[in-house]
């Protein structure tokens, strides 16, 4: 009986040891699988990270190459765009370059500005582009990616879509034709010095309907009209009725706009510099520098130009110079 008991105990112990051995073997097997899986997964993950990094580097290099290429080609592309969008001008288009045929601009002295306007940050410069009338001109101006204030001519037979073009813009002006002392290519519906108050008011009401977002108007030609105090009184009355501000293009030294606006209790705002009185690019570049200097000297400045190819090219080439000022839309002044 004693021997049987000992044999049973040995058998039980042997089974327990076997189970323990199998258990340890199973644990070892599981640990081995886990560790091998971990290292394999780690290696795979490492490979994936390396592959992603390589792919990211390749993308960065490709992007840098594209950027370098675009920087090299940008001036050429701008030239090409300007030529393409401006080559198809209407045959009827004649720029009223400040009544050049009357020679009035040459006799207009620079705007006297005694006090420096206090502005926060950089001096402010607003550049108005007059005579905007076609989609090609709008595309050319917008291709420069500069905050330039477009001043649209009212619709006419030569430029029937100006109001529709303006409607697509967030901000714009209207370039209103007014009677000149010497001008042979007068626009349709030009305001004349002998127009009655009702006639002028009706015309401005119509302009407001055509251009509902307009709050600023400057004169197209207009040397004779702006020299006439009665006519200017009638005009500013009509502007006030439509919540419109007048920007004097200053096509004559005898403009009555300062006096009339003062009588209405309004500030006189006027052009400081014409950029393209002469249309060669070298001259325009020098005028841009002049406008920047006026802005620095007085805190603010207003320049006026036209959508000529040389003018737009000069503006593009002056982007670095224009960083010295805060180039803004006219409403920011």
Query: How does residue 48 score in pLDDT terms, banded at 50, 70 and 90?
Result: low
- Judge whether residue 228 has pLDDT over 50: yes
* DSSP β-bridge partners for residue 127: 303
Closest CA to 104 of 179, 182, 175: 182
Contact 304, 130 (CB under 8 A): yes
Ranking 36-50, 110-124, 144-158, 286-300 by mean pLDDT, the lowest is 36-50
Please tell me whether residue 130 adopts helix, strand or coil conformation.
Answer: strand
Q: What is the rounded average pLDDT of the residues 18-26?
A: 67
pLDDT tens digits for 89-113?
A: 544 445 555 564 445 454 566 677 6
Contact 277, 291 (CB under 8 A): no
H or E segment to which residue 11 belongs: helix 2-86
Contact 79, 313 (CB under 8 A): yes
pTM of this structure: 0.74
Q: Cα separation of 325 and 321, whole Å?
A: 8
The strand ranges marked E within the chain are 124-132, 149-152, 173-178, 216-221, 245-248, 269-270, 273-274, 300-305, 326-328
Q: Cα separation of 96 and 251, whole Å?
A: 11
> What are the residues whose beta carbons fall under 8 Å from the beta carbon of 149, sequence distance 6 or more?
126, 127, 128, 129, 171, 172, 173, 216, 329, 330
Left if phi > 0, otherwise alpha if psi is -120 to 50, otherwise beta: which for 147?
A: beta
Residue owning tokens 């960065």: 60
Q: What is the rounded average pLDDT of the residues 113-127?
A: 81
- Judge whether residue 311 has pLDDT over 70: yes
> What are the residues whose beta carbons fall under 8 Å from the beta carbon of 238, sequence distance 6 or more?
197, 200, 201, 203, 204, 205
Q: Cα separation of 267 and 302, whole Å?
A: 15
CA 284 to chain centroid, in Å, comes to 20
**Radius of gyration for the alpha carbons in the chain, expressed in angstroms and rounded:** 37
> What are the residues whose beta carbons fall under 8 Å from the beta carbon of 42, sequence distance 6 or more?
none
Q: How many CB atoms lie within 10 A of CB 112?
A: 6
CA 9 to chain centroid, in Å, comes to 97
- Judge whether residue 156 has pLDDT over 80: yes
Contact 223, 256 (CB under 8 A): no
Query: How does residue 69 score in pLDDT terms, banded at 50, 70 and 90?
Result: low
pLDDT tens digits for 164-209?
A: 999 999 999 999 999 999 877 889 999 999 999 999 999 999 999 9
Q: Cα separation of 210 and 244, whole Å?
A: 14
Tokens of 295: 């802005």
pLDDT tens digits for 288-297?
A: 999 999 999 9
Q: What percentage of the chain has pLDDT greater than the value 90?
A: 61
Q: Cα separation of 233 and 256, whole Å?
A: 9
Query: How does residue 149 score in pLDDT terms, banded at 50, 70 and 90?
Result: very high
């Amino acid at each position: 009986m004693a021997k049987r008991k000992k044999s049973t105990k040995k058998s039980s112990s042997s089974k327990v040891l076997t189970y323990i051995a199998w258990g340890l073997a199973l644990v070892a097997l599981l640990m081995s699988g886990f560790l091998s899986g971990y290292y394999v997964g780690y290696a795979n993950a490492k490979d994936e990270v390396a592959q992603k990094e390589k792919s990211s580097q390749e993308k960065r290099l490709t992007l840098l190459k594209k950027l370098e290429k675009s920087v090299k080609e940008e001036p050429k592309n701008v030239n090409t765009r300007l030529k393409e969008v401006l080559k198809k001008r209407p045959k009827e288009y004649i720029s009223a370059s400040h009544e050049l045929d009357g020679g009035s601009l040459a006799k207009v002295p620079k705007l006297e500005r005694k006090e420096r306007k206090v502005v926060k940050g950089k001096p402010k410069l607003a550049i108005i582009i007059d005579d905007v009338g076609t989609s090609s001109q709008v595309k050319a101006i917008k291709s420069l990616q500069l905050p330039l204030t477009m001043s649209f001519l009212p619709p006419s037979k030569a430029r029937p879509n100006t109001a529709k073009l303006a409607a697509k813009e967030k901000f714009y002006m209207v370039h209103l034709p007014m009677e000149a002392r010497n001008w042979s290519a007068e626009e349709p519906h030009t305001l004349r010095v002998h127009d009655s108050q009702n006639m002028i008011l009706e015309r401005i009401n119509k302009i407001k309907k055509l251009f509902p977002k307009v709050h600023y108007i400057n004169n197209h030609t207009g040397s004779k009209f702006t020299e006439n105090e009665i006519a200017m009184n009638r005009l500013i009355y009509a502007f006030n009725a439509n919540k419109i501000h007048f920007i004097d293009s200053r096509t004559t030294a005898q403009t009555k706009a300062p006096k009339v606006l003062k009588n209405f209790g309004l500030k006189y705002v006027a052009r400081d510099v014409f950029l393209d009185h002469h249309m060669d690019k070298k001259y325009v570049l020098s005028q841009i520098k002049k406008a920047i200097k006026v802005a620095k000297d007085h805190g603010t400045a207003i320049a006026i130009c036209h959508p000529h190819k040389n003018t737009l090219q000069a503006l593009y080439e002056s982007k670095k110079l224009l960083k010295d000022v805060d180039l803004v839309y006219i409403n920011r002044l």
